[in-house]
Amino acid sequence: MNNGQEELLLLLQKAQNEFGYLSEESVAELAKSLALPISDIYGVATFYSFLSTKPLGRNVIRICKSMPCYLKNCQIIIDTVEKEIGIKPGETTPDGKFSFQLTNCIGACDKAPAMMINSDVYDDLTPGKISEILKACK
């Protein structure tokens, strides 16, 4: 039955928003407050693609690689971003400015290819648009 566990995902999302990722300390703290094994917390924390147990950059770039974006050549967008910020998907820049991930459908297929930076959607992307978008990131 519910011992407050239904709050877990929400609490994880809050912790991630506050600290940028889920540190060992915050996971341990959550385990204690909800009286759950740490392994359960990690189970949930590592299940969802928007949660991270590793530190993330200030700007998390998520390029959609789903079918509609794939048909509209998202590969060239992926390549352009790689070139611009010098890291591959799954990595974070050493200065902590960018994290780069590939993601499944973000529901912006009407104007594929699309990506999200934090919670903002950018669509109808062309390689030319990328550097301007990235420049605007702080």
Partner 1 sequence: MARINSNTELEELRQEILSKRDQNKPRIAVCAGTGCLASGAAKVIAALKEEIKKQGLNADVDIKETGCPGFCERGPIMVIYPEEICYLQVKPDDIPEIISETIKERKVIDRLLYTDPTTGEKVTHESEIPFYKNQKRLLIGTNINIDPKSIEDYLAIGGYRALAKALFDMTPEQVLEEVKRANLRGRGGGGFPAAKKWETTRNVPREPKYVIVNADEGDPGAFMDRAVLEGNPHSVLEGLVISAYTIGSHEGFIYVRQEYPLAVENVDIAIKQAEEYGFLGQNILGSGFDFIVNVHRGAGAFVSGESSALMTAIEGKVGEPRPKYIRTAVSGIWERPSNLNNVETLANVPLIINNGAEWFTSIGTEGSKGTKIFSLVGKVNNTGLVEVPMGMSLREIIYNIGGGIPGDKKFKAVQTGGPSGGVIPEQYLDTPVDFDELTKLGSMMGSGGMIVMDEDTCVVDVARYFVDFLCDESCGKCIPCREGLKHMREVLNNIVEGKGNEGDIELLEELSRLMTKASLCALGTSAANPVSTTIRYFGDEYQAHIKESKCPALVCKELVSYYIEPSKCQACMICLRNCPVEAISGGKNQIHVIDQAKCIKCGVCFDACPTRFGAVIKISGEPVPASLPEKERSLVRGKK
Distance CA(41)–CA(115), nearest Å, equals 29
Residues facing residue 59 across a β-bridge = 98
Distance CA(131)–CA(13), nearest Å, equals 30
Nearer to partner 1, 105 or 137 (CB): 105
Give me the least distance between CB of 49 and partner 1, in Å please.
4
* Interacting residues with partner 1 (CB under 8 A): 1-2, 5-10, 12-13, 40, 43-44, 47-51, 66-68, 70-72, 103-112, 114, 116, 119, 121-124
Nearer to partner 1, 1 or 136 (CB): 1
Nearer to partner 1, 43 or 55 (CB): 43
Q: Which two tokens stand for residue 38?
A: 């740490």
DSSP assignments along 24-35, one per residue: HHHHHHHHHHHT
Give me the least distance between CB of 62 and partner 1, in Å please.
9
